[in-house]
Chains A and B, each alone.
Chain A
Amino acid sequence: MVDEITQVSAFGAAAVHALCISGLTAAHCFSGRGALVSDPAHALGLLVVFEAPLVIAVFSLIRRDPKQCSFLKAVVRGLLGLPIGALLNAFGAIVLGAPVGIKYWTATIYWSLLMSLFTFVPAACVFGASKVNWQNVLSHSNYCRPTNAVDYMISAPAHGAVIGAWLGAWPMPLDWERTWQEWPICVTYGSVAGYLIGMAISLLLIVTRKRRDRAKAD
């Protein structure tokens, strides 16, 4: 199994992340300035539409077992993972106190789809239903052990997005009376910020690991 793992160079990882970010920026440019605040559902929908194909395609390319699993199969796995992940994320958000009124439904659905793209879909594309790999990605201990570059690329941004979203919920009860304190807006900002930071961390980890490996080899 170890031999079959696709190795991703630091450069490749950077390219993957750059593609993901480009999806986000494209959606942002398209929806226009301040759209997330004025019409969150619309802006989030655009983000999902732009980001989904990019994430699914890119992570299907670096799937774990390219020999047994075709590109198409990985894409299908990703597409299946999207609603499942969205459901999990929405459940988490509601447990944590996200409002559930009719007014918020569309925004919540789009937000959880976006979170699913950040967290669940990459892993679904790459690993499929392999339990061990999933556990590895979920666990925080994989930052300490030497693991595969793809593991870093999946887990660091996902963790970042979740923690960012959690922190993003904190300004919501404050009485500043800003429009961005509404439900999905600041949480989205938090998760996107966390996602970007996670990407940077994953790149950093990959580079240091490569360097250490090289030192060991020498």
Chain B
Amino acid sequence: MAAPATHGRRSRRRAWPLLFFTILALHSLAIYLFTRGFLLTRTELDVHSHRDDRTGISPGCSSWPPPAVDRLVIVVLDALRFDFVAPSTFFQEKQPWMDKLQVLQKLAAEEKTSARIFKALADPPTTSLQRLKALTTGGLPTFIDVGNSFGAPAIVEDNIMHQLVKNGKRVVMMGDDTWIQLYPEHFNNSFPYPSFNVKDLDTVDNGVIDHLLPSLRKNDWDVLIAHFLGVDHAGHIFGVDSNPMIQKLEQYNQILEDVIDTLKSLSTPGDIHENTLLLVMGDHGQTINGDHGGGTSEEVETSLFAWSPKSPPNAVFSVLDENSCNIDLHGKEVCISTMQQLDFAVTVAALLGIPFPFGSIGRVNPELYALSSGTWDNQKMGANDCIPQNDLEAWMQRYAEALCVNSWQVKRYIDLYSATSVIGFRAEYLDHVADLYSRAQANWSSVLKSTCPSETGTQDVLKECASKECTSSALRSQLDAYSKFLENFAKLARSSWTEFDLQLMGIGLSLMVLSVSTQACMLVKLNTNSQISDKERASSSSFPNFLFAFTLVAIRAASFLSNSYILAEGRVANFLLATSCIASVWHSATKGKFVIEEFVFLVLNIFIRFGIEFGMSKQISGPIISNDHPVSIICAFFGSFFCNSLMETFPIISLALVAYIILKCISYAMCQRFLKYFIISGSILSYIFIAIHWASESTFFYHAKAIKQIIISLAPQLVYTIGGLSLAISALYRLFGPIDNLKMNGRVTSLSAAMLCSWSPTILMLLGRQGPFVALICMTIAWCIIKLRQKHHRELKHDTLGVYVADPVLVTRWSLVAVCLFYLTGHCNDMKELIEKLAAKIDDLKTSLDKLAPLARVAEQLAMLPSKVVALQSSAFENQEQGFLQEMSQKDEKIKSIVSMGFPEDEAKMAITRCGLDASVEVLVDSIYALETAGNAYSANLSDYEDTESISFGRKKTKFMEGSQKKRKRYGSGSQGNPVPFDGSHEEPMPLPNPMVGFSLPSDRVRLVHRTLPDQAFGPPFFYYENVALAPKGVWTTISRFLYDIQPEFVDSKFFCAAARKRVYIHNLPIENRSPVLPRPPQNNI
């Protein structure tokens, strides 16, 4: 650093570090403020309620409420909108999806005292995982709860499931496997089905249906949870206003009817469902497009239906004050109440008589509590059997006690939460809430006196308040006081856990803008400072560079607007990195140079790319590595033994390389003798430990099992200790060691070398076997980039001053490399599950896809253009007289040959009209034969058939089109639509026995395919499996493997109808004599 600088410049340079520190601090502050407002944090408390928690703290409610129901059936219909359940008369307009769950409406109208529809208001975020958490914990989960690890979302907080298990209740679960993720060991019996595949409408539902009714007849459970996913998935794919959605709802109606019938039949006194409560509920709503996750009223409003076979007394109506009633379709009155989903957990806990979850902040819902007849049992308990009471008063007494416990439990939570959490509530609000509580408690003791004078022994109160109205009014005011406390606290919790703090976010954002702009200003100033001499030259050469870097960053930023690009983020980063490399190779080629570093960089890019892809394929297909992956190709080429030994030894070889490079680096960079030797020996030791650790894990080297165990557990600890020790010693050395005369640059280098050495073994240990490989790539890339930078500076001829000036493209490349390495190390896998869940379910980003839709359509049109031109040409050709004559002669020839085979002439003619002229003779014969076997019913005249077909199709088509229009817009597809199943599964009789085509396409010459069926699959029972063809790699081979290795049959429906859908069928249905379908009718040509 022999800078021939003036005095002023030197002093300025001394100020740079300070400035950079200021900017760093500003950046951090801005990020902190923004995230503080945006990432709503809530601390999860790992404290649980216990059965014997209540030790007479407050009079009258010294124990958890007694059970009111024996068994509970919870049917969760995912994404059940409020208007799916409520009668359409409650809304301004009747929509096609309303009034489909007739059975619920009928019950609500006929059995008013025991059945009721609730409008349940969920809190955002309205995603299934968060909602399930909220339903069971009674809290307000945010996206990022402190203490929640990404990998295992199992709930730490106290929840109903935990309480159920602890209090000896048996829980059965069927349906969505999210429950299993949340409650891995809480269920006595569970039938989970994968919820991941959004396109699959039926697997989960059918699984639940298979198990639901049989389970209802059994007696081995206390709580049954059945979670259906069909409505959610139908919404995601088709939208609410679509046929599949309505079909789903109709299916659910049938199931619910069966469930209710079963319960009714088993609800006679003494039977297993004598005191059972049925809850049918949604976890959240959805928008018309089927999206959810946000806080709009459509997403938040879901419904809850409660019904118990046993009716509570009529007095229940006096409890139900807040409701709106209306006449339903059949002229009966239906009433609907509103409740908060927050209240669900605590209400269920109160009904089942289990301790309330510790972190629940809900209130026992009066309407739901009153619906269960168990709460009306006039059994006296506790201290209040002093005055004879009517039903209502007894109930109110009981409810007041429940609320008393409820308030106590919430207050306990508030106290603990504000004592322990990182970010508590604001003090003044807390004071207000605490004040409300103490007032309610004071009131409670006076109410106790009024209702139970005999115990408290004060006759004055009895005198003052002798009448029953007085008792009930006292109780009422008590209920109000508790409710007020609970509602106030819920409001406070909502404001801090579910609402973004816009002010903080704004401040953070503006601070960020400010600090970035000061940084930019500073950099520009620095640049001009150091480039005074050749300013013009520098600006002329750096401008395109700057533009290029900016474009790369802009593309990357824009790619976050689309779901698909987020899923492929690693590949996108790699693509951009490769683009920048290729561009710079191009650039140097125009100057006639060949830079070796650029080339090395390109080759490294390939490595990174395969690494990323390998990591992804490992994640997706599990044990099956797809056949066309490069790694497996290499393995196939060299044999598996070689491959395995390579896999085993490769990490160790690359580890040795990394160690060598790092040691070289230290011995070069550090001058302090003591520190140097210490660190060198420390890192050698830790590398040896890592090598031993891996060697002991592999099967190559044989060790005794005990030694193996010791090494496996001990080696990492040793490595971490050495790392920490060397870090600490180098820090101490810097603080107290002799002051060296090194210059700034040298000091920085030696410091960073020490840091690198102490960190690298730890990081390698954590990364695992692929670590050294990644480290090698990282080092080579760093070398390339540094070399390139040096060259860049040499070109610009400021090797001394230009230290501060960075090439923007290189900086961008650094950041892209970092992203690629993130994906290369496979850290994305932890995030992946989360991301995919979010991507599939939140669909917030789908709105951005909407914007892309027109573009997509343009692209598709462009893609269709050449084929359209050809179509025009061919149709023009067909119109020519010449062509017609040729056709005629062809036709005659074919008829002749068929007649010569012994078929009547008119049948041959009909077959030709049916199959088209270019169909081969075999096809024609096949179709004639098929017609004969199909019977005379269809051999009527052809125009008839065409008529019926077009009518039936027209109807179906328009019906679907209405529903799917919105969806189609979103997916940007022009020619999608009309999903009328053409595979023979719809009811309209087809004139041909089986319209499915063989293994080839109808427009080609039909090859008769002889499929060989394995013996065990031959003959009945016949099965037939069908799904979309575009499944992830390896899925179809897997399916085929499980289905007797039958070859899948690929059929593209675009040859039969306007929709292009590739479908695959695996079946053992006989395919002999299967004749092809008609070719596309001429009027369908576009």
Contact = CB atoms under 8 A, between A and B. Distances in A.
Interface in A110-154: 131, 135, 138-141
Interface string A99-115: 11111100000000000
Contact of B606 (A95, A139, A175, A176): A95
B628 interface: yes
A174 interface: yes
B1030 interface: yes
Contacts of A141: 590
A29 B871 CA distance: 10
B590 A176 contact: no
Contacts of B627: 101-102
A173 B564 contact: yes
Contacts of A177: 1028, 1030
B609 A97 contact: yes
Contacts of A80: none
Nearest to A104: B628
B425 interface: no
Contact of A193 (B589, B605, B862, B973): B862
A68 interface: no
Given A29-B870, A180-B863, A97 B590 contact: no
A95 B628 contact: no
Nearest to A134: B589
A176 B628 contact: no
A166 B579 contact: yes
**Interface secondary structure of A, over-half rule:** helix
Contact of B870 (A28, A140, A175, A178): A28
A21 B602 CA distance: 33
A29 B567 CA distance: 38
B589 A101 contact: no
A92 interface: yes
Given A99-B628, A102-B633, A189 B579 contact: no
B860 interface: yes
Contact of A101 (B572, B629, B859, B863): B629
A71 to B, nearest CB: 28
Contacts of B972: 176
A135 B1062 contact: no
Given A29-B870, A173-B568, A135 B589 contact: yes
A95 B609 contact: yes
Contacts of B629: 101
A96 B568 contact: no
A216 interface: no
A28 B567 contact: no
Contacts of A37: 863
A214 interface: no
B609 A176 contact: no
Interface string A158-174: 00000000100101011
A184 to B, nearest CB: 14
Contact of B572 (A104, A171, A173): A173
A174 B564 contact: yes
Interface in B526-582: 562-565, 567-568, 571-572, 574-575, 578-579, 581-582
B567 A173 contact: yes
A32 B870 contact: yes
A12 interface: no
A103 B627 CA distance: 9
B628 A101 contact: yes
Given A29-B870, A173-B564, A135 B592 contact: yes
A34 B859 CA distance: 15
Given A33-B871, A175-B563, A193-B862, A100 B630 contact: yes
A6 to B, nearest CB: 24
B1086 to A, nearest CB: 12
Nearest to B632: A101
Nearest to B1030: A177
A33 to B, nearest CB: 4
A102 B628 contact: yes
B971 interface: yes
B860 A178 contact: yes
Nearest to A171: B859
A94 interface: yes
A181 to B, nearest CB: 10
Contacts of B630: 100-101
A97 B863 contact: no
A166 to B, nearest CB: 7
A94 B603 CA distance: 10
Sort chain B's interface into a size bin.
Answer: 35 or more
Nearest to A100: B630
A94 B606 contact: yes
Contact of A92 (B572, B582, B1030): B582
Nearest to B610: A100
B884 interface: no
A176 B852 CA distance: 12
A176 B589 contact: no
Contacts of A139: 590
B866 interface: yes
Contact of B856 (A32, A94, A140, A176): A176
B862 A189 contact: yes
Nearest to A141: B590
A175 B581 contact: no
A139 B562 CA distance: 34
Interface string B863-876: 10011001101100
B860 A135 contact: no
Interface string A12-39: 0000000000000000110011101100
B591 interface: yes
B586 interface: yes
Contacts of A96: 575, 578-579, 582
Contacts of A135: 589-592
Contact of B575 (A28, A169, A175): A169
A173 B565 contact: yes
Interface string B967-980: 00001110000000
Nearest to A105: B628
A169 B579 CA distance: 12
A177 B860 CA distance: 12
Contacts of B1062: 179
Contacts of B1060: 179
A94 to B, nearest CB: 6
Given A96-B578, A97-B578, A173-B565, A103 B589 contact: no
A174 B874 CA distance: 33
A176 B860 CA distance: 11
Interface in B836-890: 856, 859-860, 862-863, 866-867, 870-871, 873-874
Contacts of B873: 29
A97 B602 contact: no
A25 B862 CA distance: 15
A46 to B, nearest CB: 13
A33 B628 contact: no
B592 A176 contact: no
Interface in B333-379: none
Contacts of B564: 173-175
Contacts of A32: 870
B857 to A, nearest CB: 11
Interface string B132-143: 000000000000
B586 A138 contact: yes
Interface pairs A-B: 3 shortest CB-CB? A101-B628, A139-B590, A173-B568
Interface of A: 28-29, 32-34, 36-37, 91-92, 94-97, 99-104, 131, 135, 138-141, 166, 169, 171, 173-180, 186, 189, 193
18 contacts: A32-B870, A33-B867, A34-B867, A91-B602, A95-B578, A95-B602, A96-B575, A96-B578, A99-B628, A101-B628, A101-B629, A102-B627, A135-B591, A173-B568, A174-B856, A175-B563, A178-B860, A189-B862
Interface of B: 562-565, 567-568, 571-572, 574-575, 578-579, 581-582, 586, 589-592, 602, 605-606, 609, 626-630, 633, 856, 859-860, 862-863, 866-867, 870-871, 873-874, 971-973, 1028, 1030, 1060, 1062
